[in-house]
A and B are shown apart, each in its own frame.
Chain A
Amino acid sequence: MSVSAPAKAAIPPVRQDRVRKYGPDGISGRRLGLRIAVGVIIALVFLTPYLIMLVGSLKTRPEILRVPPRYFPQDGLQFGNYASMWSTPETPLPFNLISTLIISIFATLLVLLVATPAAYYTARFRFPGKIAFLFLVIVTQMLQPAVLTAGLFRQMLVLDINDTWLAMILINAAFNLSFALWIMHSFFAGIPKEIDEAAQLDGAGRLKVLFTVNLPLVWPGIVTAIIFTFVSSWNEFAASLVIMSTAENQPLSVALTKFIGQYATSWQYVFGISIVAIIPVIILFALIEKRLIGGLTAGAVK
């Protein structure tokens, strides 16, 4: 080893100690610098569209429609845009935001309410048709509202809940159910069942065992399920586009597309709203960043 790598011996030992935590071999400072540089470039590539969004949201209307465009506004940052953007002629944005919030929150609550007991039960008990049940859940995971929009539209018309929050709450809940169920299932299955048995000996019923013993242990799984369902409902587009026809009922995703193709689009408002809508979701994602790697593929990737 020492014969084949004379170059390595030239690195002062102290320095190698310092960088040792960045790799089992202890890589050189120059390579580390290269990695950092590549990392910065990657981060910039992924953040640039959102920086354009942020800067654009602070431009005046003449500035953002200026030909040729300037990268940074010369007439000051318009923080007032964040107040005036709520009253634009294109779409009633405050209503759109409330719609998005209500649909996403209630869809998430419904998913939790329905998926948690099922996840616990399928992880703990056996019943006839269990495999068929789990297979059904996987199959729905392959389906998205976009594929079934024609059918969903027709169904909501017949149920007479077309163009209502309830329709979108049910749709978002149903299509996100399978992922939530699976992720929680894998978390419940990781808890030794002896814990349950001890509680049962103390006379606790199954529901009580679920709530008092299991839930506190699987909360990371529940948080992941909550965030995924919420984000996916928050961003849903295809079904809302067809089912929500009243301007006030439409979620932000649909409402924002109305700005596009206008004669002189109020881009500064489109971007202001986008920033307001994106930042909370990014914070949610940042909270589960670690789990995105660990728990996301639970069961699928060995």
Chain B
Amino acid sequence: MSTLTPPVIRERKRGGGPQNRDSLWAALPWVGPVLLLIFGVVLFPAAYMIYSSTRRISQAGTNVEGVGFENFATVFADPNLPRVLLNTFVWVIVVVSVTVVLSLLLANFLNKPFPGRTLVRMAVIVPWAASVVMTTTVFYYGLDRDYGIMNSFLVDIGLLDSTYGFTKNVATALGAAIVVGIFVSIPFTTYTLLAGLQAVPSDALEAAKMDGAGPVRTYFSVVLPQLRGALAVAVLINVINVFNNLPILRIMTGSIPGYSADTLMTYIFKVLQFDRRLDIASALSVVNFAVVILIVAVYVKVVRPMKET
């Protein structure tokens, strides 16, 4: 899972003599190639996708004619859409909230000194370094009803009476996907929060102790407010990553026929690959994109993750 941190734009105050101020033309050789890649491979496809969503495109890929918002009308009239949207929101909200709570506990623990801590931290990185497809594959195999090792482990420790086909029905397949989603999201989140914990000034902790605050009170009144920035970044990045995740759901819910276990992302890929409806898929992608932007905008507005405190 590619995990990126949006940094704050912070103009540094520096001397800025005349030799440090260039014209646009002087800047172009340095930043031009970046602009070329961003416009060519990120923004152009985005614009092209929006354009495609207003055309009728044959299954062979021929651009037939403009149809205005007809594709969007088709998308919104789609009887599968309400279920797909519901799945998407359950998927995002459950994965992100459980991930953040568990990562918070984990980061606090990994911030305490004990022998072997580095090794435990290394172990927590592994799901981040391992490909999501490969991690999901192991869970898919492990949860197989007949030969799955995790399934038989659940029976051996008495959690199940007999092995169960988790990936064969909608609710348990989505549940299993959510568990994998949490598992692969925890490493990045934990490390981001660890970074935040290290920025908590030790004199603030000392002061709280001087004032006679207990560990719980110190945590909620001193540590948690300091973590605000790291938490905000972790939640934002997780929402974007989880929302756009394809492989976990595609593998875990892949053997379920129909669309009852799909999220927007897997649904788009089914329309694209099986129906070969590029126009409808583009319209769905635009909707998906709009939802992402909306979530990010609301989040930034409400939580103000970039606020300098």
Contacts and interface: CB of A to CB of B under 8 A. Distances in A.
Interface of A: 21-23, 32, 35-36, 38-40, 42-44, 46-47, 49-50, 52-53, 56, 64-69, 71, 110, 113-115, 117-118, 120-122, 124-131, 133-138, 140-144, 146-155, 157, 170-171, 173-179, 181-182, 186, 189, 193, 228, 231-232, 234-238, 241-242, 252-254, 256-257, 259-261, 265, 267, 270-271, 274, 277-278, 281-282, 284-286, 289, 292-294, 296-302
14 contacts: A22-B114, A23-B112, A36-B115, A38-B109, A43-B120, A49-B135, A52-B141, A147-B285, A177-B37, A179-B4, A179-B5, A181-B34, A235-B131, A293-B194
Contact of A256 (B46, B134, B265): B134
A206 to B, nearest CB: 9
Interface in B109-135: 109, 112-135
B31 A300 contact: no
Interface residues of B, number: 119
Nearest to A255: B133
Interface string B280-306: 011001001100100010000000000
B305 to A, nearest CB: 8
B37 A237 contact: no
B175 interface: no
A169 to B, nearest CB: 10
Nearest to A278: B130
B137 interface: yes
Nearest to B134: A274
Given A21-B113, A127-B27, A277 B22 contact: no
A173 B38 CA distance: 10
A299 B147 contact: no
Contacts of B169: none
Interface string B177-197: 000000100010001101110
Contact of A151 (B46, B106, B124): B46
Q: Is the interface of A mostly helix, strand, loop or mixed?
A: helix
A256 B254 CA distance: 14
A148 B292 CA distance: 12
Interface in B1-58: 1-2, 4-12, 14-16, 20-24, 26-27, 29-31, 33-35, 37-38, 40-50, 52
A36 B246 contact: no
Contacts of A125: 20-22, 27, 30
Contact of A296 (B5, B40, B147): B5
A250 to B, nearest CB: 12
A298 B196 CA distance: 11
A66 B146 CA distance: 8
